[in-house]
A and B are shown apart, each in its own frame.
Chain A
Amino acid sequence: MAIRNIRKMAVAAAAIGVTVVLTVSGCAPASNSDVVIRIAMGASGDAVDSNFDTLKDQYETLYPDRKVEIIVQEDDVYQTTGLSTLLSSREAPDAYFEWSGPRMRNHVADGDGADLSEYLAGDAFAGRFDEGAFTGMDVDGSGIYMVPWTGDVTDVIWYNKTIFKDLGLEVPQTWDEFMAVCAAIKKSGVTPIVEGNKDQWTVGNWASHISSRVIGEDVYADTMNGDAPMNSPAMVEAMTYLADIASNGYINDSVNALPDDEANTQFFLGRAAMIVIGSWLMADAVTDAEGLDFGYFNTPALDGAGDQASVLGISTGFMVNAKSSHIAETMDFLALVASADGTKLWAQAGLAPMTVNPFDGVDADERTVSLATLMSTAPTVVAPSDSGYNIEVAAAFYDAVANIIGGGNVQDALDTAQKRIEEIK
């Protein structure tokens, strides 16, 4: 009896031991000698996410003693709490997605951004970028702090070609024509514009573009830095264009309650004729809008002091954590991202890569190519207020915009924003 018990215990102990060993070995991401590099980003659609997995496999084949960990967070989370939490964690990312401009400069000021000039001048990146690709990626000439990735046109007006064709509508060239198009669509019983402004940046970006067109780019920059009044007569005039959209019922009633991705879905399902959002819509459309015939046009010309052909856009890239122990290894991965093969992947996924000749030998969607051309040939590129300027001023402005598109009074909304900006200062 005792021997049988001892045997049972021995078998049980062996089973537990084997289970523990198998579990531990199965969970182990890499051996002790392996270098693990962590790359963090917000989600950019399934096609883009799977491309990063492809590059990770390539990298791990090229460098068998290295592992890549791709950290993808929901986009809004990444922008707000996600990245800052990751950067302050013990396992901070070695490289992370970021927009050029103030967000990038803040990371550099905080000691989280490494100067990459030396690496970018090396063989791995030789000839991959034109000089212009690095615009907005330096800090007062002290160095380059990003590996350029994509150029995002931050807002264009996407339209359902079938609805336009059925109603005999042409792409509008002026704001008056645009309003006439909206009126015709509304009359047909279709929602002219759908927007998901729950997080305020979608209509906020469009309002940035409209205000830069009306008040002029220089005054716009001053306003968004808090150096010019938000409630000036010119700003009131600019925001009245948006107020007209709301008062005429040309936008979905749920504009301030709808998340941006649900608005995209409504557009893909043909429930609205137009949506105003950035070039990244193409990445979602690749998987979610098969069969939908749609195109885009830039915000039509308004009456104002700004360049009426301007494009609202911003470049993106990957910063490398200055505190990383594996900067060289991380740059090897980013070299793959910027390589000819990497570029093909991004172009096919509907993005507009910032590398040279991004669409060579790629069967890219013509809208993607056209958007990249729009960005690269734009006479003036304006940054959205939440990406290029003071973030708290942008928040006050976007509050006002949400109020206006929800039917609020333009002057009151801008007065409130100005009061808040004065408190910030």
Chain B
Amino acid sequence: MKPDRVWTPYLLVAPAFLVFAFVVLLPALLNTGLSLVDWSGTNQMVFVGIDNFTRAFRDDIYLTAYRNTFGYIGLTLILEVAVGLIMAGVVTMPGRKTAFYRVAFFVPVMLPMVVIAVLWSFVYSDDIGLINTGLRGAGLDGLAQVWLGNPATALIAVSVVSGWIYAGFYMAIFYAALQRIPTNVLEAAMLDGASPWRIFFSVKVPMIRPMIEIAVLLCVTGAFQSFDLFYVMTNGGPDHATEIVTTYLVEVVFRFNNLGYGAALATIMTVVVLVLGLIFSRIRSKVGGVDVEY
């Protein structure tokens, strides 16, 4: 059915577009404009063209922040999405009472991030931390580490905390998806003699693939939004081993008072996230983006 007036569709879309323009497009455009100036926030702006961008591509710390962010993404895909998937599989196994575990796994998601960061800082503490105390108690003194102070272990240590928090979140998503799988499909597999694990990996996982893809996208984009965990636990250290784009942005803007350069770094990050989203979308459509309907 065609609308009576030509502008009716535009009118209907206008509220949503205005909100989007006001909260996303306009700030992004203003930020891009800001990236072309040298400005401390209150002094006179000086137009510097693309100097801030060229500086960003020479800035070793900024590039290190990307390496760390991608490393963090890799680790959290395992520690959050994969572990969340396995947890969902375990709590949906037939014949098990799993309500307690479902709640327990989800509790960390509800705790304030700063509280978790402080709590885990004590867990990782060199002398009174649970991990080192446990290792020393077991006679494994050689394995005790300064987990957050060693550049080789700091990023992994923070990622483990991230996994501890968000694995429960992804478990909840996968749990909801797994509950939607028709029982007759599972019963057919069982009648064919498939083990619970075989059913999980060969039947359930393929059937919730769209949800897994969304989880991967959330995990990747979420990594670029991370900040508080890193800021409280390591503040980007030691030696920038846990510096991620957002912690460096805060340092540039608030410690160095360099809003123009900070805006350039934010603009580049926005482009990177958009490109990643497009690549993800392209891959999804190429490898068969047809959702399984059931």
The residues of A with any CB-CB pair to B shorter than 8 Å are 79-81, 84-85, 87-88, 106, 109-112, 198-200, 252-258, 271, 391-392, 395, 399, 402-403, 406, 408, 416, 419-420, 423
* Chain B nearest Cβ from A262, distance in angstroms: 8
19 contacts between A and B (CB under 8 A): A80-B251, A80-B255, A84-B257, A106-B257, A198-B234, A198-B237, A253-B149, A254-B127, A256-B237, A257-B124, A271-B127, A391-B255, A395-B251, A395-B255, A399-B240, A403-B239, A406-B149, A419-B60, A423-B55
* Chain B nearest Cβ from A80, distance in angstroms: 5
Q: Which residue of A lies closest to B254 (CB)?
A: A81
* Chain A nearest Cβ from B46, distance in angstroms: 13
Q: Which 6 A-B pairs have the closest CB atoms?
A: A257-B149, A110-B42, A254-B126, A256-B238, A257-B148, A81-B254
* Chain A nearest Cβ from B240, distance in angstroms: 7
Query: Please, how many angstroms separate the alpha-carbon atoms of A109 and B257 in the complex?
Result: 12
> Are A257 and B126 closer than 8 Å at their CB atoms?
yes
> Are A392 and B256 closer than 8 Å at their CB atoms?
yes
Q: Of B124, B149, B154, which is within 8 A of A255 by CB?
A: B149
> Are A198 and B257 closer than 8 Å at their CB atoms?
no
Q: What A residues does B237 contact at CB under 8 A?
A: 198, 200, 256-257, 402
Query: Please, how many angstroms separate the alpha-carbon atoms of A109 and B42 in the complex?
Result: 8
* B40 on interface, CB distance cutoff 8 Å: yes
Query: Please, how many angstroms separate the alpha-carbon atoms of A79 and B40 in the complex?
Result: 15
Q: What A residues does B255 contact at CB under 8 A?
A: 79-80, 391, 395
Q: What A residues does B150 contact at CB under 8 A?
A: 257
> Are B60 and A420 closer than 8 Å at their CB atoms?
yes
Q: What B residues does A403 contact at CB under 8 A?
A: 239
* Chain A nearest Cβ from B156, distance in angstroms: 14
Q: Which residue of A lies closest to B59 (CB)?
A: A423
Q: Which residue of B lies closest to A81 (CB)?
A: B254
Interface size for chain B: under 10, 10 to 19, 20 to 34, or 35 or more residues?
20 to 34
Q: What A residues does B146 contact at CB under 8 A?
A: 253-254, 256-257
* B289 on interface, CB distance cutoff 8 Å: no
Q: Of B61, B147, B238, B256, which is within 8 A of A402 by CB?
A: B238
* Chain A nearest Cβ from B126, distance in angstroms: 4
Q: What B residues does A85 contact at CB under 8 A?
A: 254
Count: A-B pairs, CB below 8 Å? 84
* B41 on interface, CB distance cutoff 8 Å: yes
* Chain B nearest Cβ from A412, distance in angstroms: 11
Q: What A residues does B239 contact at CB under 8 A?
A: 256, 399, 402-403, 406, 408
* B250 on interface, CB distance cutoff 8 Å: yes
> Are B40 and A106 closer than 8 Å at their CB atoms?
yes
Q: Of B40, B125, B148, B254, which is within 8 A of A110 by CB?
A: B40
Query: Please, how many angstroms separate the alpha-carbon atoms of A43 and B37 in the complex?
Result: 34
Q: What B residues does A254 contact at CB under 8 A?
A: 125-127, 146, 149
> Are A391 and B149 closer than 8 Å at their CB atoms?
no
State whether A252 and B234 are in contact (beta carbons under 8 Å apart), knowing that A106-B257, A257-B148, A395-B256 are contacts in the complex.
no
Query: Please, how many angstroms separate the alpha-carbon atoms of A112 and B41 in the complex?
Result: 11
Q: Which residue of B lies closest to A266 (CB)?
A: B127
Q: What A residues does B238 contact at CB under 8 A?
A: 256-257, 402, 406
* Chain B nearest Cβ from A93, distance in angstroms: 14
> Are A112 and B42 closer than 8 Å at their CB atoms?
yes
* B184 on interface, CB distance cutoff 8 Å: no
State whether A258 and B149 are in contact (beta carbons under 8 Å apart), knowing that A84-B254, A200-B237, A252-B126 are contacts in the complex.
yes
Query: Please, how many angstroms separate the alpha-carbon atoms of A144 and B125 in the complex?
Result: 46
Q: What B residues does A391 contact at CB under 8 A?
A: 255-257
Contacting A at CB under 8 A, from B238-273, are 238-240, 250-251, 254-257
State whether A110 and B149 are in contact (beta carbons under 8 Å apart), knowing that A81-B254, A257-B234, A423-B59 are contacts in the complex.
no
> Are B61 and A110 closer than 8 Å at their CB atoms?
no
Query: Please, how many angstroms separate the alpha-carbon atoms of A420 and B251 in the complex?
Result: 15
Query: Please, how many angstroms separate the alpha-carbon atoms of A176 and B220 in the complex?
Result: 53
* B58 on interface, CB distance cutoff 8 Å: yes
Query: Please, how many angstroms separate the alpha-carbon atoms of A110 and B148 in the complex?
Result: 37
* Chain B nearest Cβ from A197, distance in angstroms: 8
* Chain B nearest Cβ from A18, distance in angstroms: 35
> Are A84 and B41 closer than 8 Å at their CB atoms?
yes
Q: What A residues does B127 contact at CB under 8 A?
A: 254, 271
* Chain A nearest Cβ from B108, distance in angstroms: 22
Q: What A residues does B125 contact at CB under 8 A?
A: 254
Q: Which residue of A lies closest to B148 (CB)?
A: A257
- A84, A271, A419 — most chain B CB neighbours (10 Å): A84
A110-B42, A254-B125, A256-B146 are known; give 15 further A-B pairs, CB within 8 A: A80-B250, A106-B257, A109-B40, A112-B42, A252-B126, A253-B126, A254-B149, A256-B149, A256-B238, A257-B148, A257-B154, A399-B239, A402-B238, A406-B151, A423-B58
Query: Please, how many angstroms separate the alpha-carbon atoms of A395 and B250 in the complex?
Result: 14
> Are A110 and B43 closer than 8 Å at their CB atoms?
yes
Q: What A residues does B147 contact at CB under 8 A?
A: 257
Q: Which residue of A lies closest to B238 (CB)?
A: A256
Q: What B residues does A200 contact at CB under 8 A?
A: 237
State whether A81 and B250 are in contact (beta carbons under 8 Å apart), knowing that A254-B146, A256-B237 are contacts in the complex.
yes
Q: Which residue of B lies closest to A406 (CB)?
A: B238
* B133 on interface, CB distance cutoff 8 Å: no
Query: Please, how many angstroms separate the alpha-carbon atoms of A111 and B44 in the complex?
Result: 10
Contacting A at CB under 8 A, from B141-171, are 146-151, 154
Q: Which residue of B lies closest to A408 (CB)?
A: B239
Q: Which residue of B lies closest to A403 (CB)?
A: B239
Q: Of A88, A258, A271, which is within 8 A of B41 by CB?
A: A88
Q: Which residue of A lies closest to B55 (CB)?
A: A423
* B235 on interface, CB distance cutoff 8 Å: yes
